Amino acid sequence: MTYITGHWSGGPYQPTWLDKKDYQCGIVLNTKTGKAQGEKWHNYTERTEHTWDRNTDNIAVSIIGMVAPSSISNFGPCPITQAQIDEFCLCVAEICVLKGLDPMKAFRTHAEWAVIDGYGVLSYDPETRWDLAVLSPLKKAWPTRAAAEAQVKATGDLLRKKIVVLKKGIIKPRDFHYKAI
């Protein structure tokens, strides 16, 4: 089965060479206008290095941002924005249309894969990943690992539901998806 994994890049709002290497598609924020734009950097069949042990048949779509978040309540100087989240969901929905995928089965956040594979939030693994565990800063930290993992699942479910709704309205994905790399 082909999967689509959602990420944030952990960098500034403009993509770095590493982002363009590791993700097939990035959601870039124009800081002057506040608008977000999807950019395709690799063919969707090309393998990239984005999720530990889950890169084969897995399309990586990343929201470009989230440099230096200090905690779950402080997303740092380049937090993900609602415009990026909306563009991200539309981009994933369009990829689902192109590939004939059911978002409820095919889409996971990197935080969800990390929980499944044992390096998720509050696992104390040095390689902990919490990409898209939450979409905006929380007022306080999770009290337990179980609470954190429940939030990760709830956020993934919220994104999947939005992707499903958007997918229903897509007749033809936007042209950048067809760009040969």
Instruction: With cut-offs at 50, 70 and 90, classify the pLDDT of residue 181.
Output: low
Contact indicator for 25, 36 with CB cutoff of 8 Å: no
- Note the pLDDT of residue 167: 95
Q: What is the mean pLDDT of residues 121-132?
A: 81
Contact indicator for 167, 97 with CB cutoff of 8 Å: yes
pLDDT above 90: percentage of residues in the chain: 65
pTM of the model: 0.93
Q: What is the mean pLDDT of residues 28-37?
A: 96
Element of type H or E holding 98: helix 82-99
Higher pLDDT, 64 or 55: 64
- Note the pLDDT of residue 168: 95
- Note the pLDDT of residue 162: 97
Question: How many Cα atoms sit within 13 Å of 25 on the Cβ side?
Answer: 30
What does DSSP assign to residue 15?
P
Select from 12, 35, 155 the least CA-distant residue to 84.
35
Contact indicator for 24, 39 with CB cutoff of 8 Å: no
Q: What is the pLDDT of residues 74-119, one digit of tens each?
A: 899 999 999 999 999 999 999 999 999 999 999 999 999 999 988 8
